[in-house]
Every structure is written in structure tokens, then in C-alpha cells.
Structure 1
Amino acid sequence: MNTRRNRQELAQFLRRCRERTSPADLGLPVRSRRRTPGLRREEVAFLAGLSPTWYAYLEQGRDIRASTEVISSLARVLRLTSDERAYLHQLATGSPAPQESPYGETEDKIVRAAVAAMGQRGLPVYAADVHGDLVAWNDAATTWYTDFGALPANRRNMLWWMLTAPEARERFVNWEEDTRDVVGRFRRAAAARAWDARFEELITAMRESSEEFAEWWSSHHVSKQRPRRREMWVDGELRAAQVAVLNLAESTRSVVLHLPVDEHEPTQGE
């Protein structure tokens, strides 16, 4: 869905990616001082095989339609990561980029481990909706994180808690890395539901309440959901787990599991 908000996000994202791309990396001669960093609009258009005027319209947020092939060409020129490429497709076409391998051996392994660990005591399990609003959690989740039941219903949100609660910064060993990852996934979810007023409410509130969120949001940091190691201080002890998400079919709810960590095997996302 190419809404006004997504068109504006697309324009800002393209400009930021263009400005960070070095002409030398693409084999372009740099013979004089440039007034702006990175590539010029005309250079992006030329390398992607587009009309300079048409590409300028994209960066102006105009209501124009871009094909999957055009967006893939822009992603190649701007040297986007796989996460950024999927995000660009989501903004421009309403659908993520086609995945070369939708389900691999790593995911199969995580699913098997998740099923085995579902009943294991002492490890957190919680469920959240697409906005990160918590809808269910076990006792271990309150021990590792916080008593979500004591929070106001409209602030019972994992990202909000991570950004604004002083205890979150104390509990997460790698608070910035873990929180940036959740922000990146939140951005992808928001792009997929541009019509969703709850996202608008949360984005506005977090921009006003968290300097880090405002900075990361403006930088267009984006990431996809993948299993990752999370380390936390729990009752004065360092605890580690591999966090994996099970998306329920035909539902906007996901179950977040904390799986035992194999200390001798690095996890995806480290």
C-alpha cells in the first residue's frame, strides 16, 4: 500500500542511502569537490537505467508507482543490505522483496529447539502483537524483564519499555544493540501497515520520550526478525538466551521464546 506516509518514508530513505554511497565505490570519477555527499540524483538514475526526472519524483515523495524490477535496480545501485532491500520494496510496492531462500536449515533448527523448550521452567515466554504490545507472558518473563501487568495498558509495549524504563538499561548487557534491533524490526512492521493508527501513536510518543529512538528513527535503521542472543542481568546473575519468534499463522500475534544457549556455537545475529 503506497500511502502518503510510506511515500515520504521512501523519499527520505532513498536520499539517505544516496548520500552515504560513495561514487568511487561504483567506479565513477571524482574530479571536483561535491556540494553534497554521496551520489547525485542524476548518477543514481543513470546507473539504475531511469529517467532523472522520474527518479527525482521518487525522492520528492510524489504518488508514482515503481515496479519490482525498478526497485531492485535502485537497491543494487545504492548497495543496500538484504534487510534494507526488503524494506525498500515494502515502502515502494507494499510487499517485501522476493526471498531467495524463504526457509532454511537455521530456521528448522530454531523451530525444533523452540518446540523442545516450550515447557522448560525458568525461561521467559511472552506473546505480542505487531506493534510490540504484550498480550501474554509467564512468570519468568516478569523476572527477566518487568511486571508488565503493573504497567498502563497503552504502555505495555516491549519497545516502549526498553526505551524508557531505567531498569531496562540495567538489565540488558547490550542495551543499545538489542534496542536498535527492535527499533529496526518495528520500522519494517510499520511500513507493512501504513494505515495503522497505533503505529503513528507509538512513533510520536517514542520520538518525544527517547532521544535514542528519535536518532535511530531518523537514520532509517531497519532489520528483519532473526534468532539472536540476548544477555541480561537477572537477580544479580548474568543470564543468556537465544531469542526466537514464532509467528502464528493467520494472526497478528507472535510468541517470543527464550531458548537455552549453546556456549560453543555462535547464534545468527551476533
Structure 2
Amino acid sequence: MDQRTELSEFLRSRRARLRPEDVGLPHTTTRRRVPGLRREELAQLAGVSTAYYTRLEQGHGENVSVAVLDAIARVLRLSPAERDHLGRLTKPARRRSGRAAARVQRVRPALQQLLDAMEGVPAYVLGRRLDVIAWNRLGSALLGDFAVLPPEQRNMAWQVFLDPDARRLYVDWEGKASDIVGMLRLDAGRDPDDPHLASLIGELSVKSEDFRRLWATYDIRDKGHGTKRLHHAVVGALSLQYETLRPTGDADQVLVAYHAEPGSASAESLRLLASWAATEFQAGTASDAADSATEASR
């Protein structure tokens, strides 16, 4: 991905979402040719020349200082995730090589053991470009059987935009899709030379009109915490809290865990889902054993 183009489009999109009155400028009835703040208005508020800001918005961010970035971020009201993204776009020398970005992702054995021990908690680990690189049995039962998917489809963005089941699973699909695109934009700023990321974005752009629409907003989001409302095919409606934890040892990985309020209907539904998942697992294990015995007898 071209860093200059990304920087230019990102700054334009953030400037376009602000009105003059949002930043303390007087409201005028004069019609503007483009939405949002004018370049000269933003430059004045940030304490830089219009020519300097114009050059930055044209993608020339190689020598911009931290102080200037902070001033621009303040005027544009950037979130912490957006501020970090702006910093990466203006410091291309700090990005990792395409070979490093494309290396195989794995979780530590101890982390997988932790996931497996969380029997009543759906959980999974996301790696670069939102690849699902580890999960536990209840996480798979809640969100989909990752084990049966080919590696290129074992990805949250692919699942949300290209798996029809996702639209039925997430009650607020639009909100989920917006979050996913914002996180993918964040990854694109971290790893602009990742060939797998470029391939994923290309596939989603070709196959999903919704992805193209949301990608064009240039929103930046990081994985955090909150509530997700789901409609599961087996247990029905669920309202679950989710938390994001960052394991030590690999800055690219995050562990996402869901839980229900104790004593709630969702907690009971989650318990029923865990029981169903255990039954399905046992049935699958028995079937595999029978198949193995049949093959051995031949």
C-alpha cells in the first residue's frame, strides 16, 4: 500500500468530518465547495503555515515533528488509535519488511493451554490482519468452526463480509463490520508491505460492496471492550460482554474473551452452548475413532 496516498486520504477524511463550529470557528452561511474544515483553517488552528499543512496532506510527511503531529491531531480530534495511525503513516522508516509481516503466526503452547482451560468462556486469539490463529471449543461453537475452514478464510474480516452466517449471527452487523474495517485500517498502517494483507483487502474489495463503502470512510479503530448482541443458531439470543487482552511475547496478538452477566438469560444460554459443544466434540471424536478402526481393519 502506498504510504503517501494513505496519509493524504486519511487527513482529508478526518478534515471533512469536522464543521467550523466544532473547533470554535464562527458559523457562516457561505456555501463551501467541500465538506468540513478548509486547509487554511486547520493550519491556522494547528499553528503551522497553510503551505506546510498542504504539503503534509499531499502525503509528504517524512520530516514532520511530533509537536506538529500532536497539534494537528488535537485540531482533528483524533482518537488515540487514529493518532497512532497518523504517526505510523508519517514515519515509514519504522515499518517492518514485507517478509517479516508475512511470517507464519503461532501462539505459545501455554497460551493455547490457557484457552482450552477457559471451558465456560468463548475465547480466541487474533493475529496480524485479523487472522484467527487460536481458539477454544466454546469460541468455535459461538462464532463458527474455524478448524474446518481453509487458512485464508480463518479471518474475522473474511468471516464478517463474505460468510452469510455472520449477518445472521451479529444483531448489529453494520456496527461489527465498521469495527472490523477500522481495525483492518489500523493493521494496514502497521504493515503496509504485508502481501497477505494486500491480498485480503483486494479480495474483500472485489467481493463485498459493503466493504468498499466502509473502507472508503478511512475510520481507524482498535480492539477494546464492550457488548455484542448475537443470535446463535443453536441457543438463540445472547448479550455478551467482551474484553481484549494483550499477551506478552508478541505485540501482534490479542486475546478476545466473551462472558455473560452472572445469573442472566445469556449466561444460561452460554452454559447450554458449552454443553452442546461438548456433546458435538464427543460425537466427532467417536466418529473419528470409528473411521480409524475401519481403516485399520482393511
TM-score range, shorter chain: 0.7 to 0.9
User: Counterpart of 2:260 in structure 1: which amino acid?
Assistant: P
How far has the Cα of 1:137 moved from its partner? 2.0
Q: 1:43 aligns with which of 41, 44, 57?
A: 41
Distance 1:199 1:6 in 2: 15
Match of 2:9 in 1: 12
**Residue 226 (1) aligns with residue 224 (2):** yes
> Contact between 1:71 and 1:92, CA under 8 Å: does it hold in 2?
no
| 2:174 alignment partner in structure 1 | 176
Superposed displacement of residue 117, structure 1: 9.3
Counterpart position of 1:21:
18
Q: Which residue of 1 aligns with 2:55?
A: 57
**Conservation of the 8 A alpha-carbon contact between 2:230 and 2:237:** yes
Q: Does the 8 Å CA contact 2:241/2:258 hold for their aligned counterparts? A: yes
| 2:236 alignment partner in structure 1 | 237
- The answer on whether the counterparts of 1:144 and 1:232 sit within 8 Å (CA) in structure 2 is no
Q: How does 1:248-259 map to 2 (within 5 A)?
A: 248-251=247-250, 252-259=252-259
Q: For the structure 1 residues 261 and 250, does the alpha-carbon distance in structure 2 shift closer, same or farther, using more than 3 Å as the test?
A: same
Displacement after TM superposition at 1:72 (Å): 1.0
Tell me which protein shows more helix as a share of its residues.
Answer: 2
Q: Which has the larger radius of gyration?
A: 2
Q: Does the Cα contact within 8 Å between 1:173 and 1:233 map onto a contact in 2?
A: yes
1:250 Cα deviation from its structure 2 partner: 2.6
1:150-205 per-residue CA deviation (whole Å, 9 max, x = no partner) reads: 22221211221011111111111222212211221221122112222222111111
How far apart in 2 are the matches of 1:60 and 1:231? 41
Looking at structure 1, the residues matched to 228 and 21 of structure 2 have their Cα atoms a distance apart, in angstroms, of: 38
Taking a change above 3 Å as real, the CA distance of residues 233 and 123 of structure 1, as seen in their structure-2 partners, is farther
Distance apart, 1:262 and its partner CA: 5.4
Which residues of 2 match residues 204-223 of structure 1 at below 5 A?
204-223=202-221
**TM-aligned CA distance change 1:231 to 1:20, over 3 Å:** closer
Aligned residues: 241
Q: Which amino acid aligns with 1:24?
A: E
Partners of 2:115 and 2:123 within 8 A in 1: no
Q: TM-score, normalised on structure 2?
A: 0.72
For residue 82 of structure 2, what is the amino acid of its counterpart? E
Unmatched 5+ residue regions in structure 1?
96-115, 265-270
What displacement does 1:90 show? 3.0
CA distance in 2, matches of 1:240, 1:26: 37
Deviates more, 1:66-75 or 1:136-145: 136-145
Deviation at 1:81, TM superposition (A): 3.3
Distance 1:256 1:92 in 2: 30
3-state DSSP class of the match of 1:131? helix
Q: Distance in 2 between matches of 1:138 and 1:236?
A: 18
Shift of 1:120: 4.2
Deviation sequence 1:9-34 (CA, Å, 0-9, x none): 11111112222221233343436332
User: Which moves more between the two structures, 194-203 or 80-89?
Assistant: 80-89
In the alignment, structure 1 residue 247 sits paired with structure 2 residue 241: no
Q: Aligned ranges for residues 111-130 of structure 1 at < 5 Å?
A: 119-130=117-128
Rounded Cα–Cα distance in structure 1 between residues aligned with 2:225 and 2:61? 36
The residue that corresponds to 2:68 in the other structure is 70
1:115-154 equivalence runs, <5 A: 119-154=117-152
Query: How far off its partner does 1:131 sit?
Result: 1.6
**Quick one: distance in 2 between partners of 1:263 and 1:5?**
51
Verify the 8 A CA contact 1:126 1:134 in the aligned structure 2.
yes
Q: CA deviation at 1:218?
A: 0.7
Q: Is the 8 A contact 1:228 1:243 kept in 2?
A: yes
TM-score normalised per structure 1: 0.79
Tell me which residue corresponds to 1:105.
none
Point out the more displaced range, 37-46 or 156-165: 37-46
User: Is 2:32 the partner of 1:34?
Assistant: yes
